Amino acid sequence: MSAKLPFTPNPETDLVLERTVDVPPEWVWAAWTNPEHLKHWFCPRPWSVAECKIDLRPGGVFRTVMKSPQGELMPAGDGCILALEENRRLVWTSAMEPDFRPVESGEDAFLFTAHILIEPDGAGTRYVAIAMHPDEKGRQKHEQMGFHEGWGTALDQLVEYMQSRAS
């Protein structure tokens, strides 16, 4: 089954991960929106999440700090939640800070908006993550950073973690 998307991704500028997973949409939603859950799965191991702050409203902060296996912190800046529908859709961006303040631009800025789309698929969830970039260069950079493997592994970790909580 292919999920119904709110817009058509542009293959030149956007990256898409689409999978069906064996946990219900409510679990995927909880994993994405509760910082205590998110810390357990958001970074492919042996990387980890040192800090996570989420203010679940349009304009609210979506901040994560990743930690390398060597203990180096990689703050990604305060992100901003743009839109949400409980158990259905979460949109956040690295291109804004809370209250929709645009981030300082510059050649080395890594700007993207993430659309996380979830819907029931049998007893599980059809999961679509779209990373949307300003241009082809941004898409290429994210692809070289390992978008597909990274976001795929993180999703595996999400499923494993949420299943372990239920057992």
Point out which residues bind a second copy (CB under 8 A): 6-7, 13, 58-59, 82-83, 91, 93-96, 98-107, 109, 111-113, 115, 132-135
Q: Which is nearer to a second copy, 17 or 97 (CB)?
A: 97
What is the closest distance, in whole angstroms, from the C-beta atom of residue 88 to a second copy in the complex? Answer: 14
State which residue, 20 or 105, has the beta carbon closest to a second copy: 105
Nearer to a second copy, 102 or 146 (CB): 102
Q: Least distance from C-beta 114 to a second copy, angstroms?
A: 9
Q: Which is nearer to a second copy, 73 or 100 (CB)?
A: 100
CA-CA-CA-CA torsion for 96, 97, 100, 104, nearest 10 degrees? -50
- Shortest gap between Cβ of 74 and a second copy (angstroms)? 20
- Closest to a second copy by CB, 36 vs 104, is 104
DSSP sequence for the chain: -PPPPSS---TTTEEEEEEEESS-HHHHHHHHH-HHHHTTTSS-TTSEEEEEEE--STT-EEEEEEE-TT--EEEEEEEEEEEEETTTEEEEESSEEGGGEEPPP-TT----EEEEEEEEETTEEEEEEEEE-SSHHHHHHHHHTTHHHHHHHHHHHHHHHHHHHH-
CB of 81 to a second copy, least distance (A): 11
Give the nearest distance from C-beta 133 to a second copy in angstroms: 7
